[in-house]
Amino acid sequence: MAKRASSADRRRFILRKLHSLSGVVPLGLFVVLHLWTQAHGLWGQARYDEAIADRNAIPYLPLIEVGLVLLPLAFHGLFGVFLALQSRANVGAYPFNRNWMYVAQRLSGVAGLAFIIWHVGQYWLPKYQGQLSPAELYPALCADLSATHGGVPLIALAYILGVAATVFHLANGLWGFCVSWGIVVTRNAQRLSATVFGLGGLLLFFLGANTAIYFATGSRVAVFGVPVGSHETLARTCSDLTTAVPAGQPAGLGK
């Protein structure tokens, strides 16, 4: 006769399901919308400020940011670290692709969480402490990301790695979500969905990395509808704001 699940087993099952769901909604949705909002910086400060003003016009924004972003993030991150500490990697014995992805999912989760905690302290907390107005965000991003330490653009590199870790974690996590919730079942469907999520992840990484590179250097790989390099068509760009940031000198907030 099958053993009945104990209440601890049931609690653990529900927590795991909530953990998996919270990674998709609201957190996955937030990452896509957030990178899209930040990408408005590619058009110059006027378009960026407009995008931030539209976002700030959302009713009950502080409640939404805390209730639908930061609290789910705290739950997903803390429970994720707990699961990662409990897991046993077996890539040594079975070096299969999916086993490597299992390890990479845990490592990218921890790296992404470290990035987000630092990043929230850099821009979100100062906003609520009254130290950073919406109009100051764009110049602060240009100054912070273009600063160099010993000639190395450490903050811009941290952004590119942070975006890479978060986006990989999201794309690979979406695949795992679809498999574990029975949305993709057959081997072919699983292969096809891995390709779709992989390509989507690459696109999202490109969106975030392009924005970080732009804030750091003033160069864009691409801007939709605007030829690359035509600064005249853009209102007040990063290169107008940070003509020269002396090496090793903190130029903006969040140092």
Residue for token pair 């992989």: 198
Instruction: Give the x-and-dash track for 223-242 against ligand HEM (CB under 6 A).
Output: --------------------
Contact in structure between 181 and 23 (CB atoms under 8 Å): no
Kindly indicate which of the ranges 82-90, 146-154, 162-170, 240-248 contains the residues binding ligand HEM, using the contact rule CB under 6 A: 162-170
Q: State the nearest-atom distance from the C-beta of 193 to ligand HEM, in Å.
A: 22
**If you write DSSP's letter for every residue of 8-22 in order, what string do you get?**
HHHHHHHHHHHHHHH
Under the criterion CB under 6 A, does residue 208 sit at the interface with ligand HEM?
yes
Q: Phi/psi at 154 (nearest 5 deg)?
A: -60, -40
Under the criterion CB under 6 A, does residue 212 sit at the interface with ligand HEM?
yes
Tell me whether residue 52 or residue 171 sits nearer to ligand HEM (CB atom): 52
Q: Residues for the chain: how many in total?
A: 255
Tell me whether residue 73 or residue 234 sits nearer to ligand HEM (CB atom): 73
Under the criterion CB under 6 A, does residue 164 sit at the interface with ligand HEM?
no
Distance set, CA 255 to CA 158, 161, 217 (Å): 13, 18, 18
Q: How far apart are CA 11 and CA 152, in angstroms?
A: 47
Kindly indicate which of the ranges 4-12, 123-131, 183-191, 235-243 contains the residues binding ligand HEM, using the contact rule CB under 6 A: 123-131
Q: Cα angle at 93 between 89 and 99, to 5 degrees?
A: 45
Q: State the nearest-atom distance from the C-beta of 116 to ligand HEM, in Å.
A: 5
Tell me whether residue 175 or residue 205 sits nearer to ligand HEM (CB atom): 205
Q: How far apart are CA 121 and CA 48, in angstroms?
A: 21
Residue 222, strand partner residues: none
Instruction: Using CB under 6 A, list all residues that contact ligand HEM.
Output: 31, 34, 38, 52, 65, 69, 73, 116, 119-120, 123-124, 127, 137, 141, 159, 162-163, 166, 208, 211-212
